[in-house]
Amino acid sequence: MQSVPDCHAHLDAFPGQEADLLAEAAAAGVQPVVTVGMDVASSRRAVELAAAHADLGAAVGLHPWHFDRDYDGEGSLEPYRELAGCHGVVAISEIGLDTVVVEAPVAVQQEALRWFMELGAAAGIAMLLHQRAPASDLIDVYRALRPPRPAVAIHGFVGDEEDARAFLSEGFWLSFGPSSLGMVGAETVGDGLLRLVPAERLLVESDAHPAADDRPEVHPDVTREVLERIARARGEDPALLAEGIARSFERLFG
């Protein structure tokens, strides 16, 4: 079976079960997996987990949902500088813009995002972004960066075709997971949108997390079903699509 990478999972949220979840994923042909941090503690845990498990990469960052709690000017982000340089770190995540849940003004969120993007560029690693704000709010930050800019992917993409085209024309990657396809939550991107993303810019993910509020528990192995659904929407062979996504993943994180 052609394996397919899961570029975004929250394995630290399953203490003691990480090895079992990775074995379950491998049995479904889902590997490698990237586990992402939500704050300093969970970013540290992501680094530890990546050191302890083969086929597991780490991403470090401050999730926008913790922004109001943790962000207090750029000085409050300093711990991430060291974390980004740790062995096994392949991306900055999770960070991004969220004007739906986060109370901090978008200009303040943009200031932190710019700091993280400069960190990603300096460390030579990709950005894997949470994006729940107008596309232009993100593109403005990206374009204002002094080159070299970091590679950018949007995780759990739920925007419309106009957003997708705008991000693709900036050279961004788009990652789709259960929340993009109506498998978790009510949002579903259309088949037309799934067809307009070139395979070399396409990623898939589980966004694995334990059950919370109205969200069911999701494991990394769900990435196999995400792949199959996208292949069906695109009228492509899942094995060939998995190969293309593996190459796309390698270019972004390799």
Nearer to Zn ion, 14 or 231 (CB): 14
Nearer to Zn ion, 39 or 207 (CB): 207
Walk across the sheet containing 56-60 and list its strands: 4-9, 30-36, 56-60, 89-98, 126-132, 152-154, 173-176, 202-204
Nearer to Zn ion, 6 or 163 (CB): 6
Q: Tell me the closest approach of the beta carbon of residue 177 to Zn ion, in angstroms.
A: 8
Task: Indicate the pairing of strand 89-98 with strand 152-154.
Answer: unpaired
Q: Tell me the closest approach of the beta carbon of residue 133 to Zn ion, in angstroms.
A: 16
- Total residues contacting Zn ion by CB under 5 A comes to 1
Give, as ranges, the residues between 189 and 228 that touch Zn ion (CB under 5 A).
207
8-state DSSP, 181: B
Nearest to 87 by CA among 64, 53, 118: 53
Nearest residue by C-beta to Zn ion? 207
Q: Tell me the closest approach of the beta carbon of residue 207 to Zn ion, in angstroms.
A: 5
Please identify which residue in the block is written with the tokens 């400069």: 118
Task: Please spell the DSSP secondary structure of 149-182, one letter per residue.
Answer: PPPEEESS----HHHHHHHHHTT-EEEE-TTTBT
Q: Compute the distance between CA of residue 220 and CA of residue 224 in angstroms, rounded to an integer.
A: 9
Query: What token pair was written down for 249?
Result: 């993943």
Q: Tell me the closest approach of the beta carbon of residue 102 to Zn ion, in angstroms.
A: 14
Query: What token pair was written down for 4?
Result: 């397919």
Q: How far is CA 15 from CA 12, 21, 49, in A?
A: 6, 11, 10
Nearer to Zn ion, 34 or 84 (CB): 34
Nearer to Zn ion, 18 or 207 (CB): 207
Q: Compute the distance between CA of residue 25 and CA of residue 6 in angstroms, rounded to an integer.
A: 9
Nearer to Zn ion, 63 or 201 (CB): 63
Write the single-letter amino acid at 155: H
Q: Tell me the closest approach of the beta carbon of residue 40 to Zn ion, in angstroms.
A: 16
Q: Tell me the closest approach of the beta carbon of residue 211 to Zn ion, in angstroms.
A: 15
Residues of this chain that interact with Zn ion (CB under 5 A) are 207
